[in-house]
Structure 1
Amino acid sequence: MTTVDTGRSTAPAAGAREWQPPFTVGQVLEAPIFFTPDSVRAFATLTNDSNPLHHDADLASATRFGGLIASGTQTTGLLLGSLANHIFPENASLGLDCSFRLRKAVPADAALIARWTVRSIIPKPSLYGILVELDGGLVDPKGAVFVEANATIAVMPHEALKRPRPT
């Protein structure tokens, strides 16, 4: 997809330096994501997920998964949360939309990669920033896909959060 120019300026107030969007179309953003049996149990506990596949190693080892697996809440939360390190501390962001498809169970000892590709960048003058549409997923080093995702986030300079929305 291409960037859409609305023709409306996202220029800063007088005297401020011009803000530059931190992404380009086609850019790939990656971050390592590590799971451990302890983190899988702790995350499931924090989210009130009592599924024994996240807590009971003996039970889980007797299933087709062969051991503990991470909850979908943990895998999708870490994937979406991985975007933050590509934005902060230089910029602010707001999550606007996301969808996930869980393709494979994530073993409790997995070392995966959160990978996002910038699909489009759209100016958003009402937020003094841009909308970034991304396609992503959790993959292993060999390329096996565990989670597929799409997200739309608003990205802007921090000072934009203090400004009123234009009318």
Structure 2
Amino acid sequence: MNTPLATAETSLIRVGETCERLVRFTRDDIATFARLTGDSNPLHHDTQAAQRARHGEIIASGQQTTAMMIGLVASHFSRDDDGQARELLCLNFNFAFKAPVFAEQELVLHWRVATVEWNATLGGWLAHVDGRATVRHAHPCVIGRGTLLVKGIDA
């Protein structure tokens, strides 16, 4: 069903809108996150095992980087610091791992809104977002795509 909102633009979320955050994982951060999530892969906590392996040093688990990426997008699109109360649901995310994330590397987490459309059935704006975690001044380690549902909250 087509409503006036279906063709109107929204200021809740816009095509081209971006959010970004810098993160750095210490060796302790990596080991603690792996332990808390049940990831016993020694590449996340055992320096000797990591040195024998392909990458040669401790690496963050993929879920640690993607958790930070999802946290960034969820925080940004549920904010109300611009005077507009929002409700956000993260509906779907897919990630591809392109390179390891080593301890003490500075990562830039970045998301960009690719499309936005009104969905009358869900009563909100569906947005497709493209993201990446990139080593500062280098290559992407993780790329992602997600689907969000953003709704305005009446005061």
TM over 0.5, shorter chain: yes
Aligned partner (choices 104, 109, 128) of residue 133 of structure 1: 128
CA shift at 1:63, angstroms?
A: 2.6
SS class of match (1:127): coil
Q: Which residue of the partner structure matches residue 15 of structure 1?
A: none
Pairing 1:113–2:103 present: no
| More deviation, 92-101/123-132 | 123-132
TM-score by length of 2: 0.85
Over alpha carbons, which structure has the higher Rg?
1
Q: Is the 8 A contact 2:13 2:77 kept in 1?
A: no
Contact 2:19 2:72 in 1 (8 A): no
- Aligned to 2:58, the other structure's residue is in SS state coil
* Inter-CA distance 95–55: structure 2 relative to 1 (3 Å threshold): same
The answer to whether the 8 Å contact 1:10/1:124 transfers is: no
State the partner residue of 1:31: 21
Say if 1:10 and 1:128, in contact at 8 Å, map to a contact too: no
Shift of 1:33: 2.0
| TM-score for the superposition, normalised by structure 1 | 0.79
Q: Secondary structure, in 3 states, of the residue corresponding to 2:121?
A: helix
Contact 1:21/1:156 (8 A) holds in 2: no
Query: Partner residue of 1:49?
Result: 39
| Uncovered stretches (5+) of structure 2, i.e. residues with no partner | 81-85
Moved over 3 A (4+): none
Given candidates 56, 78, 91, the residue that maps to 1:88 is 78
Change (3 A) 1:36 1:159: farther
Higher fraction of strand: 2
Structure 1 counterpart of 2:77, one-letter code: I
How many residues matched? 148
- Identical columns (%): 33
Q: Give secondary structure in 1 for the equivalent of 2:116.
A: strand
- Distance (Å, rounded) in 2 between the aligned partners of 1:59 and 1:89: 42
Give the whole-Å Cα distance in 2 for the aligned partners of 1:130 and 1:39: 35
SS of match in other structure, 1:89: coil
Letter in 2 for 1:118: V
Secondary structure (helix, strand or coil) at the match of 1:99 reads strand
